[in-house]
Structure 1
Amino acid sequence: MAAVSRAWPAGACDAHCHIFGPFDRFPLPDDRSFTPPEAPETVLRRLHDRLGIDRAVIVHSQGHGRDHRPLLDALAVGEGRYRGVAVLGAEVRAAEVARLDAAGVCGARFNFLAHLGGAPSAERMRAVLALVRPLDWHVAIHVTGADLIRYAELIAAIEVRVVIDHMARPDLGRNLGACQEILCRLLDSGRVWIKLSGADRISREGAPYHDVVPFARSLAAHAPERVLWGSDWPHVNIKGHMPDDAVLADLVAEIAPSETARQRLLVDNPSAFFRFDESRRGPVGA
């Protein structure tokens, strides 16, 4: 990994990353949607220490199916360094959601991508939202640009805070304008945030992903108080060249050119959105 070109502000947060394993403690389940590489919390911590990142949001991945034990273990080990996002089914019960909440989970993710199971059913979304709304959890939405266009009204109607992962993964050569218009409209609602992550998944040119910068910068300028940044480590389901995390981190200075903008993007916004200043509310038990 290359060295980052500048120091990041104290309290900087990676708002989107994953962990997998260690597999001798948390074996991959049969109901996983793909087979990830082993990427435990210890390796994630070393990466963050090298990049100068103090906090992180670990998003549970369907590589571990519905088994949240790796996430819960990382939250306990992190002692406040991490927050979590869960993937919940319609069968989930209030007691389980309360246990996750006490551990430091503060959001639920819905994947709309075909290789991750496709769009969630209305029944599942209603069931999950009914349980997480009283706890002030957010909902993370993982879509491609085409799905953003298709489900824009559904997303706008969600009655909790929403964050759109990876800038909605638009096709830069096809539906960028339509996606940008929808994202700005969602940002203007005051209930939607956007993760300026996944540049490597969106770029048509490849590293160092400069073709994504104008789009990401326009979102950051449109609603600087409702944007977040994430590494997306360890970059699962990537075809071709594996991204260098230092290169992705260096894009932040181009997306948010001023110190004030970077302070908001990396520190202030994630601190408030993911409730980092709140203490854990009770015992966990993974």
Structure 2
Amino acid sequence: MRPIFFLVRASSWSQYWTRSYTTRKVPIRELLLAKIPQKSWDSHMHVVDPTQYPLAEGAQYTPEPHLLSDALTFESTLGIQKIVLVQPSIYGNDNSCMLDALRRIGPQNGRAVVAFDPKSINKLTLDVWHRIGVRGVRVNLQSVGQEMDPAELAASLQQYADIIRPYGWVLQLYVPLKTATVLETIVPKLGVKVCLDHFGSPTLSGRLAYPNSDDLYSLPGFTSLVNLMSQGSTYLKMSAPYRLSPDAGHLDLEPMAKELLRVAPNRIVFATDWPHTRFEGLDIKPFVESMVEWCGEDNTLIERVFKYNAEDLWSVSNEK
């Protein structure tokens, strides 16, 4: 049987998206990738180039270069056409590497989430960033092991929210899931969209620790997470399962994923966390296939998770 070729057209990215599939001997799980809709989004990935863009003092690790060209080649293997570049902790508040990549692809093909000091940021910088496609700021406590008491956290998040609110940006948080119990009272007062990284960053107690949805609600912070997502302004990225569990089959995350998809189907976005820093070389395709499987046979849900929820979160729908 002759191979079938697909060409996805997308301005300057088309060189990355010519793909070939054969209709013979294709594993069933691989066919799941074909269900990913056109113009889907990877809502969390990074570009890093320590040789050209020096890391911040005290960076927790030094990765190999992972350039925009590498990122686009990777995304083409999944059929993803739109990306959200996220500032990694190793660059601190110097967003140069990421913003240069964003300028190359343009806001029609991507968004970016920056890091900045709310005490020193200025309106001119924010205006420039907004024009090139920045749509969020990241507060990352998890990667650097930082903790804040509830009052300190509330004051900090309010300060960020006041700055980004006029732009309609997202307040992206990488914090432990247990923090959701505090966020439940803080987030409704912020007046901005909030997005939690990496399944909300739960602490799992071994493989199959939470075999069904009822058990999940004993997980510290999970009930508050569900409450937040049900309120409408809080989103969650299903991403980076390897940072939460060594189970390559994602069986311990499956109950959580399915429960969150059930209670908040309009607030879940897909992301790869490429290039999987400190886990380089990892094959993310099995996770992507699991994501499609967790949506069941609901093609509408697949479209929401991979495309439409991201368009809502990153204000793409408002700018078409």
Q: TM-score, normalised by structure 1?
A: 0.86
Number of the residue aligned with 1:13: 41
In the alignment, residue 10 of structure 1 is paired with which amino acid? Q
C-alpha contact 2:154 2:186 (8 A) present in aligned 1: no
Is 1:44 the equivalent of 2:71?
A: yes
Number of the residue aligned with 1:249: 288
Larger Rg: 2
User: Whole-Å Cα distance in 2 between the matches of residues 102 and 13 of structure 1?
Assistant: 20
What are the within-5 Å matches in structure 2 for residues 10-89 of structure 1?
10-21=38-49, 23-30=50-57, 32-79=59-106, 80-89=108-117
User: Whole-Å Cα distance in 2 between the matches of residues 78 and 34 of structure 1?
Assistant: 27
C-alpha contact 2:261 2:295 (8 A) present in aligned 1: yes
Q: CA deviation at 1:29?
A: 3.2
- Decide which of 176, 179, 182 is 1:144's aligned counterpart: 176
- Decide which of 220, 243, 246 is 1:201's aligned counterpart: 243
* 1:222 to 1:121, Cα distance in 2 relative to 1, 3 A: closer
* 1:191 to 1:150, Cα distance in 2 relative to 1, 3 A: closer
Is 1:259 the equivalent of 2:299?
A: yes
Q: CA deviation at 1:24?
A: 3.6
C-alpha contact 2:178 2:222 (8 A) present in aligned 1: no
In the alignment, residue 238 of structure 2 is paired with which amino acid? L
Q: CA deviation at 1:43?
A: 0.7
In the alignment, residue 85 of structure 1 is paired with which amino acid? V
Number of the residue aligned with 1:99: 128
Q: TM-score, normalised by structure 2?
A: 0.78
Instruction: Indicate the SS of the match to 1:163.
Output: strand
- Decide which of 144, 149, 162 is 1:130's aligned counterpart: 162
Instruction: Indicate the SS of the match to 2:116.
Output: coil
Deviations along 1:55-74, whole A, 9 cap, x unmatched?
A: 11111112112111111111
Number of the residue aligned with 2:269: 228
Instruction: Indicate the SS of the match to 2:135.
Output: strand
The runs of 5 or more residues in structure 2 that have no matched partner are: 1-26, 210-214
User: Whole-Å Cα distance in 1 between the matches of residues 295 and 255 of structure 2?
Assistant: 11
Number of the residue aligned with 1:212: 253
User: Whole-Å Cα distance in 2 between the matches of residues 232 and 196 of structure 1?
Assistant: 10
Number of the residue aligned with 2:227: 185
User: Whole-Å Cα distance in 1 between the matches of residues 130 and 162 of structure 2?
Assistant: 14
Q: CA deviation at 1:81?
A: 1.2
Higher relative contact order (CA 8 A, sep 6+): 1
The runs of 5 or more residues in structure 1 that have no matched partner are: 281-286
Instruction: Indicate the SS of the match to 2:252.
Output: helix
- Decide which of 141, 155, 163 is 2:195's aligned counterpart: 163
* 1:202 to 1:33, Cα distance in 2 relative to 1, 3 A: closer
C-alpha contact 1:163 1:195 (8 A) present in aligned 2: yes
Number of the residue aligned with 1:109: 138
Instruction: Indicate the SS of the match to 2:117.
Output: coil
Point out 4+ residue stretches in structure 1 off by more than 6 angstroms: none
* 1:242 to 1:217, Cα distance in 2 relative to 1, 3 A: farther
Instruction: Indicate the SS of the match to 2:144.
Output: helix
C-alpha contact 1:85 1:109 (8 A) present in aligned 2: yes
User: Whole-Å Cα distance in 2 between the matches of residues 129 and 24 of structure 1?
Assistant: 34
* 1:140 to 1:263, Cα distance in 2 relative to 1, 3 A: same
Deviations along 1:159-185, whole A, 9 cap, x unmatched?
A: 211111112111233894243311110
In the alignment, residue 221 of structure 2 is paired with which amino acid? C
